[in-house]
Structure 1
Amino acid sequence: MKLNQLKGMREFIREEDGMGTVEIILIIVVLVGLVIIFKSQITQIINSLFQKITSQTGTV
């Protein structure tokens, strides 16, 4: 019985089905962290882009 349990544990360790999900979650966490850290800079860039867009719409 112990041999079967040992084989089962080895197969469980070698299994990589869940790795894709874990990697995606880690990427999302890093991206959210970066957005939180650089929120003010991102807001400034977006505001300046929208100001340029609205000021240049009359020239088109």
Structure 2
Amino acid sequence: MKELQNKARSIGNRITGGIKAFWNDEAGMGTVEVILIIVVLIGLVIVFKKQISGIVEDVFKTIREETREITN
């Protein structure tokens, strides 16, 4: 009977140790942080879409005008 109790206790200790090791493992934290940064950037792009597209259009308009001056 004691042998069975010792085996059960040993298995319980291994499971508990595995859970603690998994909980304390921070290897995936970098990935989570990068994903959160990307989500925030996408949100900012969605919120400021009109302003960003206006700036991009102005830049391309300026580039077209200046290349026409160079070719003429």
Normalised by the shorter chain, which TM-score bucket? 0.7 to 0.9
Aligned residues: 60
Q: Which has the higher contact order (CA 8 A, sep 6+)?
A: 1
Hey, what does 2:62 align to over in structure 1? 52
- Structure 1 residue 58: Cα displacement: 2.5
Q: Secondary structure at the match of 1:2?
A: helix
Alignment pair present for 1:36 and 2:46: yes
Identify unmatched segments of 5+ residues in structure 1: none
TM-score (norm 2): 0.74
SS of the residue corresponding to residue 16 of structure 1 reads: coil
Unaligned runs of 5+ in 2: 1-10
Output the CA distance in 1 between the equivalents of 2:53 and 2:26: 39
- What percentage of residue pairs aligned between the two structures are identical? 47
**Cα distance in structure 1, aligned partners of 2:19 and 2:59:** 55
Return structure 1 stretches of 4+ with deviation > 4 angstroms.
Answer: none
- TM-score normalized by the length of structure 1: 0.86
